[in-house]
Structure 1
Amino acid sequence: MKPFERRKNLLNELYVNNIVHVSNLAEEFKVSEETIRRDLEKLEKEGIVERNYGGAKLLKSEELPYSVRDTRNKESKINIAKKINQFIKHDTSIFADSSSTVIETLKRFAISDKKVHIITNAVNALYELNQSSLEINSTGGKLLKYSSALVGPQTIESINKFNPDYAIISCKALNKDGNITDSNEYEAHIKELMINRADKVILALDSSKFDKTGLITFGELSNIDYIVTDQEFDEEWQSILEKHSITILQ
């Protein structure tokens, strides 16, 4: 097994179990325990795991760098991105937050022939889309390194100048009380501003984020016009969304 394949499988083990043990991994990957320890040491330096005696544990999702969050639930994010791409029409302006789900959506726009004007605080979006035909405005601002998001007064001032057709945002959690929440107050405030300035709002999130609550509330379901996820909604959720007159993007 090549090192990059071992890393991928090691990360998968962490995502599934949250905790891994050196001896088990060495046996599974057919390498020495010292090799596994070096792998875990590298992941610790990248801010992905915290090592302990005999193994390591995965850090909480809000503590993970963007490069790692981007790999989680990848197929779900691609599925969501395809649905939004089908919905968005030619010649549309959009606020896009810094979440990995939304950036996946922007990448889908980039391979289409639609004219889309993007205003974003996502540094990774600028990198991913710099060779595309999309029209892109960066908000500027102070860089949050772990999330590759721009925040602060400059970001706020920039957002308040725009009135786009849509805001496409994600979140850390959504509960049945209608609270849309995140883990970082600075990013949450930017998402709230995007919601307030856009004509319509699309909430994009995979099913792992339902029925949970994050630290900061930045919106309510009453603020949302469309919602898109990777699985069908059960009857209870359909009733909640219908109550708020939210359209489900299929």
Structure 2
Amino acid sequence: MLTSQRKQLILTRLAEEGQVLSRNLSDAFGVSEDTIRRDLRELAAEGLLQRVHGGALPASAAVVTFAERQCLQSDAKRRIAQKGAQLVSPGQVVMIDGGTTTAELIAFFPPDLKLTVVTHSPGIAVGLAQHPLITVIMIGGQLYKHSIVNVGAAAFEGIARVRADLFFMGVTGVHVDAGLSTGDFEESRIKRAMADRAAETIVLASPEKLHTASPWVIGDISLVNTLVVDAQTDDRSLAPFAQRGIAIVKA
């Protein structure tokens, strides 16, 4: 079997099963695990999968640039964002992560909603600047241009002073076993810090993020209290999350 054929079969199995194990692939194709690991390395370098210990998981499509992410699953993102906005109660302190789905979220805040929003995203802050009753607290730091959010020591210092009711976390990968992940190390630490300062963490998970993984781990899936997903998401694929005690909300 040609290497290209084997790689395609690996991707096909990954799409069908949601994960692949190096040992099983070695047995199935009659090649060494070293050969399989080389295949996985090369496929990962092309962005076609995410390597993990012992095998690989589907790679998230949400690690491309902010502008490119705006085009991914845009209708689903709007539905999910609208449902997410309904989870906010007046008077709360709400931390909002950067991202294309959270950018949609704030568009659904009604004009009579009174609350305090804490964010490290300049886009979120500007998007709420004209809202009559929302107080915006901006977390400063170094601007990470890929995702248009502030990171670094100053951001950590600001986050440490917050006690929030809700945190809307942006992720690129949501996986029961691999946890929550994103495409940048600095962002992963900021997201974890924000989750640690909130009573409840909500993840708005558009379809391309579910059951995928990215290089930098934010934390275990237990960080999530509520997962908001598209209404068309298969209940069977959501069952593992529900079994972990995560509330599933369909939009």
The question of a shared fold, defined as TM-score above 0.5 by the shorter chain, is answered with: yes
Asked if residue 62 in structure 1 is aligned to residue 63 in structure 2, the reply is: yes
CA distance in 1, matches of 2:166, 2:156: 17
CA distance in 1, matches of 2:154, 2:98: 16
1:212-223 equivalence runs, <5 A? 212-223=212-223
CA distance in 1, matches of 2:129, 2:226: 28
- Unmatched tracts of structure 2, length 5 or more: 1-60
1:62-211 equivalence runs, <5 A? 62-64=63-65, 66-109=66-109, 111-133=110-132, 134-211=134-211
- What does the per-residue CA deviation read over 1:53-81, in whole Å, with 9 as the maximum and x for residues that have no partner? xxxxxxx75341x2342233221111011
Q: What SS does the aligned partner of 1:177 have?
A: coil
- What does the per-residue CA deviation read over 1:184-216, in whole Å, with 9 as the maximum and x for residues that have no partner? 011111110111110011011101111211001
1:145 CA drift (Å): 1.6
Q: What SS does the aligned partner of 2:161 have?
A: coil
Please tell me the root mean square deviation across aligned C-alpha atoms, in Å.
1.7
CA distance in 2, matches of 1:137, 1:93: 10
CA distance in 2, matches of 1:112, 1:244: 36
Is 1:176–1:237's contact at 8 Å kept on the other side of the alignment? no
Q: What SS does the aligned partner of 2:63 have?
A: helix
Is 1:87–1:249's contact at 8 Å kept on the other side of the alignment? no
TM-score (norm. length: structure 2): 0.70
The one-letter code matched in structure 1 to 2:138 is S
Instruction: Tell me the number of residue pairs that the alignment of Structure 1 and Structure 2 aligns.
Output: 189
The one-letter code matched in structure 1 to 2:117 is I
Is 1:207–1:231's contact at 8 Å kept on the other side of the alignment? no
1:230 CA drift (Å): 1.5
CA distance in 1, matches of 2:148, 2:238: 34
